[in-house]
Chains A and B, each alone.
Chain A
Amino acid sequence: MSILIDESTRVVVQGITGSQGRFDTRYCVAYGTDVVAGVTPGRGGQDVEGVPVHNTVKAAVEASGATASVIYVPASGIKDAVLEAVDAGIGIIVALTENVPRHDAAIAVAAARAAGVWLIGFNTNGVISPGKSKLGGIGGNRADELYVPGRVGVCSRSGGMSAELSAALAAGGYGVSTCISMGGDPIVGNDMSEYARQFEADPDTDAMLFYGEPGSGLEQGLARAMRDGEITKPVVALIAGVFQENHPKGLSFGHVAAMIRAEGDSASAKRRLLAEAGARIAHRLGEIPELLDRAPVDRSRHSSP
């Protein structure tokens, strides 16, 4: 009933002794996440919230069998932190750091993908499989209230919006199988289409909800996967930032990734592409449940031979 993480996920926290690492770890442990180790060079042997701290990820993995890592490291050190986790054999990395230097992000993502590692971020607030596990700050101390277990997969370009989307689902009687804040930086580890394929393959996800913004080719990739017939479950999408099209190009709003760069990656172009591929487009949070209520759209036009 989830993708990427569940109750069996064993988590190491890189940068656990920093204030945010400590703060989030407390809520993760309280939520039930199996946090098995922390890493801060020079703090090996200490513990945080009852979690033993090691000097390296390798040592943490050897001691704890950790399979996923959450990284609280400033932008100047995030590239090395990701490379260290990849090197230590971690399978899923949640990189919360935002505004990562572009070249560092490119190197870290290339290394993770080459090793077959799933990288959530950069600029994510985490991932949650409600009732099972959460990695990162997602849900804060109110995860139970904001993320109700259910059968809709959620993938959001914005960390903060993941809570609003899930609350909107809950208000309409729906729940969440897994909710991922995929990262808002220009370079992220995995694409929307890759999350969609995961949800498609998950027997306990019936439909998916995506939140997108101007900039990037993420929605184009998702639309392609839908047109190619790879995605057959209902897709609801909320794409914000249409207002930008009334302002001169280059005027900066929101995430760096939301800078308008070309006609094809504007919010309205994304809405159009996704609608043509069979997605149901929500213009407001309140519309999401009613779009899910409708019978599955006829996709015969789009199915592959």
Chain B
Amino acid sequence: MRLTEDKVKAWLRENRFPVPEGGAAASPSEASAIAERLGGGVAVKAIVPTGRRGKAGAVRLVDTPEETADAADALIGRTVNGYPVKEVYVEARFPVAAEYYLSFAFGARAPKVVVSRHGGVEIERTFEQDPDSVVTADVDPLADLRPWEAVGLWERAGVEGPVLARLGQLAARLCKAFRDADAVMIECNPVAVDGDGHIGLVGAMMEIDDNALFRHRDWAGEGSGFGAEGRILNERELAVMRANETLPGGALRYTELDGDIGVLMGGGGASLLQHDMVVDFGGRLANHTDFSPAPSIDKPLAVLDAILQNPNTKGLLLSFNYLQLLPCNVLVGALCEALRRYGVDARTFPVVVRVFGPGEDEARVMVEAFPGVRYMPPGTSLDDAVRLVVDLTGEAVDREGAT
């Protein structure tokens, strides 16, 4: 979950990192009041959980409370990199004398720290233009990054003078805070230093591990309403997301696409493979799903609701890896319930089922009440089920076009 700047700055302040004063405002008058309190020039920035705001014109530098109100007025209600702007962050301008770069993120097995003597530009650009100024190192998960190790990294990146000690301390403290917050990424760019050698964390981005939110209840829900990279979820996707958060059972994902074959698939690997095969066989999915099977009917039913409410869905595939924990009759029971609920006639709207494992005999009996449902014979592979649903959906769409 990516945190917005106001949340990141508040977190840094709580942890006694040097951050310029500032606050969030939901209206021009609130923004100008903050500027008044801060005095002097301020930066007005759209609060959206994405980087590259400068490029998108979402950061304005202004000198007076009136200009602050104008800037806030121009930004609130706009869309930045796909995100609607509801608030702006009004921050005192920091007297920058030098800029550096510091980040923590995850490598294959351990956190990585990246430092550079150049800050204020994207780190990829810095690396292209001056690779020697960028130093990357693994952090031993069993030991913290020690201040003297951090000093060594900054030194290798070409930093000299009294600021070395301060940057070393900063990196060591931030490494510890990165772990304590269960962050998967923290990027401080720029780490600004003023004429007196004082540090100010002017730019800061942070992403929290969704899987560790049980330790950080205060952050739960901060990211709701956004898909990856700010894709705005539609009502069906939102409903499934809510079901995933509130109902018991395994992790569930549902993302709509622009094709016509609705799918409820699992687990993760079978979902990927079957999606590839749909494309190979010339079909197009109306949605992607991924569901870790758990013995409960609630979550599969929530996905089936979304799939059958999606007006683009013209066929349905219910196909899983060999089930272990979730009995077939429970999963197929959810399917039957959904078919009844939406009055689906499987003779015209193809339904293909490839669900093997405990409870399979009962499940096969259950679908007999729904003429047209194709339950794949024992021993058939994922390939066979995908091929059939692609063919049948194609035929159904052709029939629909012909009438």
User: Do chains A and B interact in one complex?
Assistant: yes
User: A residues bordering B, Cβ < 8 Å?
Assistant: 20, 23, 75-76, 98-104, 106-107, 109-111, 114, 125, 137, 140-142, 146, 156-161, 163-164, 167-168, 171, 184, 186-187, 211, 213-214, 216-217, 238, 240-244, 246-256, 258-259, 267, 283-286
* Contacting pair A286 B381 (CB below 8 A): yes
The answer to the question of B342 belonging to the interface, with a C-beta cut-off of 8 Å to chain A, is: no
| CB-defined A-B contacts under 8 Å, sample of 15 | A103-B111, A103-B212, A106-B106, A106-B110, A107-B141, A158-B272, A161-B321, A184-B268, A238-B273, A240-B272, A240-B273, A241-B275, A241-B276, A252-B255, A259-B228
The answer to the question of B132 belonging to the interface, with a C-beta cut-off of 8 Å to chain A, is: no
* Contacting pair A160 B321 (CB below 8 A): yes
* Contacting pair A163 B111 (CB below 8 A): no
* Contacting pair A217 B271 (CB below 8 A): no
* Contacting pair B269 A102 (CB below 8 A): no
* Contacting pair A283 B270 (CB below 8 A): no
The answer to the question of B70 belonging to the interface, with a C-beta cut-off of 8 Å to chain A, is: no
A247 to B209 Cα, complex, angstroms? 24
A62 to B178 Cα, complex, angstroms? 38
Closest to B184 in A: A102
Chain A nearest Cβ from B322, distance in angstroms: 4
Across the interface, which residues of A come within 8 angstroms of B273, CB to CB?
Answer: 161, 164, 238, 240, 285
Given contacts A101-B209, A111-B142, contact A284 B277 (CB under 8 A): yes
Across the interface, which residues of B come within 8 angstroms of A157, CB to CB?
Answer: 269
Interface SS of chain B = mixed
The answer to the question of B198 belonging to the interface, with a C-beta cut-off of 8 Å to chain A, is: no
* Contacting pair B357 A164 (CB below 8 A): no
The answer to the question of B340 belonging to the interface, with a C-beta cut-off of 8 Å to chain A, is: no
* Contacting pair A106 B111 (CB below 8 A): yes
Q: Count B interface residues, CB 8 Å.
A: 53
Across the interface, which residues of B come within 8 angstroms of A101, CB to CB?
Answer: 182, 209, 211-212, 215
Across the interface, which residues of A come within 8 angstroms of B320, CB to CB?
Answer: 160
Chain A nearest Cβ from B184, distance in angstroms: 5
* Contacting pair B358 A141 (CB below 8 A): yes
Residue from A23, A254, A284 within 8 A of B290 (CB atoms): A254
* Contacting pair A156 B292 (CB below 8 A): no
Chain A nearest Cβ from B295, distance in angstroms: 9
* Contacting pair A252 B253 (CB below 8 A): yes
Closest to B277 in A: A284
Closest to A103 in B: B179
* Contacting pair B275 A142 (CB below 8 A): no
Task: Count CB-based A-B contacts (< 8 Å).
Answer: 174
A217 to B292 Cα, complex, angstroms? 24
Across the interface, which residues of B come within 8 angstroms of A241, CB to CB?
Answer: 272, 275-276
* Contacting pair B211 A99 (CB below 8 A): yes
The answer to the question of B140 belonging to the interface, with a C-beta cut-off of 8 Å to chain A, is: yes
A98 to B294 Cα, complex, angstroms? 13
Across the interface, which residues of A come within 8 angstroms of B379, CB to CB?
Answer: 167, 171
Across the interface, which residues of B come within 8 angstroms of A104, CB to CB?
Answer: 212
* Contacting pair B109 A109 (CB below 8 A): yes
A244 to B267 Cα, complex, angstroms? 17
* Contacting pair A163 B255 (CB below 8 A): no
* Contacting pair A100 B211 (CB below 8 A): yes
Those 8 A-B pairs whose CB atoms lie nearest each other, nearest first: A158-B269, A160-B321, A250-B229, A101-B212, A161-B269, A140-B324, A240-B272, A240-B273
Across the interface, which residues of A come within 8 angstroms of B325, CB to CB?
Answer: 20, 23, 137
Interface string of B370-387 (1 = CB under 8 A from A): 000000000101110000
Across the interface, which residues of B come within 8 angstroms of A240, CB to CB?
Answer: 269, 272-273, 275-276
Across the interface, which residues of A come within 8 angstroms of B272, CB to CB?
Answer: 158, 213-214, 240-241, 243-244, 253-254, 258
Chain A nearest Cβ from B181, distance in angstroms: 9
* Contacting pair A254 B269 (CB below 8 A): yes
* Contacting pair A140 B322 (CB below 8 A): yes
A104 to B321 Cα, complex, angstroms? 29
Residue from A163, A213, A255 within 8 A of B322 (CB atoms): A163
Task: Apart from A107-B141, A213-B269, A255-B268, list 13 A-B contacts with CB within 8 A.
Answer: A103-B111, A106-B106, A109-B109, A110-B110, A125-B324, A137-B325, A140-B322, A160-B320, A167-B379, A167-B381, A240-B269, A240-B273, A247-B257
Closest to A170 in B: B379
Across the interface, which residues of B come within 8 angstroms of A141, CB to CB?
Answer: 358
The answer to the question of B402 belonging to the interface, with a C-beta cut-off of 8 Å to chain A, is: no
A31 to B179 Cα, complex, angstroms? 42
Chain A nearest Cβ from B220, distance in angstroms: 14
The answer to the question of B242 belonging to the interface, with a C-beta cut-off of 8 Å to chain A, is: no
The answer to the question of B227 belonging to the interface, with a C-beta cut-off of 8 Å to chain A, is: yes
Given contacts A142-B357, A250-B229, A254-B268, contact A75 B275 (CB under 8 A): no
The answer to the question of B251 belonging to the interface, with a C-beta cut-off of 8 Å to chain A, is: yes
A131 to B266 Cα, complex, angstroms? 27
Given contacts A141-B358, A160-B269, A243-B276, contact A102 B251 (CB under 8 A): no
Interface string of B302-327 (1 = CB under 8 A from A): 00000000000000000011111100
Across the interface, which residues of A come within 8 angstroms of B322, CB to CB?
Answer: 140, 142, 146, 160, 163-164, 167
Closest to A250 in B: B229
